[in-house]
Amino acid sequence: MLNKAVHGKEWSTPAVYAAIILAMIFWSFSYIWTNIAFRSFTVLTLLESRLFISSGLIFLSGSIFRQLQRPRREDVKWFLLLAFFEPFLYFLGETYGLTRISPTIAAVMLATIPLFAPFSAYFVLKERVTWTNIAGILLSLIGVLTIVTVTNGNGSKTDIIGIALICLAVFSAICYATVLKKLSAHYNSITLIGYQNSIGFLFFLPLFLSIEAPHLSEIVWRTDAVTCMLLLALLASFIAFVLFAEAVRRIGVARSNVFCNLLPALTAIFSAWILHEVLAPQQLIGIVVVIGGLFVSQIKR
């Protein structure tokens, strides 16, 4: 019964790849939606709203379609660890980082997650690290340094604290993928994402109540900001996570993470289209170098 609940109906290969590409599109848009949502919401208010709505939608759909599973007692600690890495640490790094750097730069930084994943697999799962992995990391780090050292039109450099916060998100995502791989052998995607988001909501709650809850009356409600918050909850925190978790289950962590290479290009296109973002030439060169490093890391002997 458990195996049936976990694996469900088989997906065709095109369906798996269509699902993961759709998840990347939603996550690329999420950087722009977050940027717009900040016009009304502060960071913790946005995060709690996003997680509260997405958790409710997940548990509602899971109950209707009978997809929710009860966690085993021995797995409770792993669910807590899963939610601690993502959404808690990851969203802290990503969302606060987006208040200091552009969506495109953030997407480039987060696209380095597949580069460092093999090292996590080496220490935890004893998987081999190749020279192409190392070469890809070094090349991408050069690209990141190129982006970080750029001087903007006002004479200031790219925000180092913003870069550090995005690095925290990268670290969290790597740890999250390792725990997700362990749990996905026993639980379906609806169960994993539902408990992940609801526990993450509880992790954020003390910070929200102490820092931002007293100032909720000061929110200026804008239609575009509220719409983007709802899109973040439905598409980025619910549907995209479920699609990505299903892809991880069916084609593995390594092959799924390769699609994160699409994030910088898609985010740059959407940012130019919606936010009218213009990048400096040195930043564009850095982005190309980072993406080049991502592809080098995937070369096989």
Residue-wise pLDDT tens digits, 200-219: 999 999 999 999 999 999 99
Considering the chain, what percentage of its residues have pLDDT values greater than 70? 83
Q: Is the pLDDT of residue 266 over 90?
A: no
Residue 57 CA to chain centroid, in angstroms? Answer: 19
Backbone φ and ψ of 157, nearest 5° = -90, 170
- For the cut 70, the answer to whether the pLDDT of residue 15 exceeds it is yes
Cα atoms in the Cβ-side hemisphere of radius 13 Å centred on 57: 20
Structure tokens at 158: 């790219």
Task: Say if residue 301's pLDDT is above 60.
Answer: no
- pLDDT tens for residues 95-124? 999 998 888 888 888 877 777 766 666 666
Max Cα distance, the chain (Å): 62
pLDDT digits (tens, 9 = 90+) for 124-156: 656 566 777 677 777 877 877 776 666 555 444
Under 8 Å CB-to-CB from 56, ≥6 apart: which residues?
Answer: none
**What is the predicted pLDDT for the residue at 155?**
46
The full set of domain ranges for the chain reads 2-296
- Mean pLDDT confidence for 42-50: 96
Q: What is the pLDDT of residue 230?
A: 97
pLDDT computed for residue 113 by the predictor: 78
pLDDT value, residue 23: 93
Q: In terms of pTM, does the model score above 0.95?
A: no
Structure tokens of 19? 């699902």
Spatial distance between the Cα atoms of 117 and 131, rounded to a whole number of angstroms: 14
Dist CA 220 CA 283 (whole Å): 34
Q: Which pLDDT belongs to residue 292?
A: 78
pLDDT at 3: 43
CB 168 within 8 A of CB 92: yes
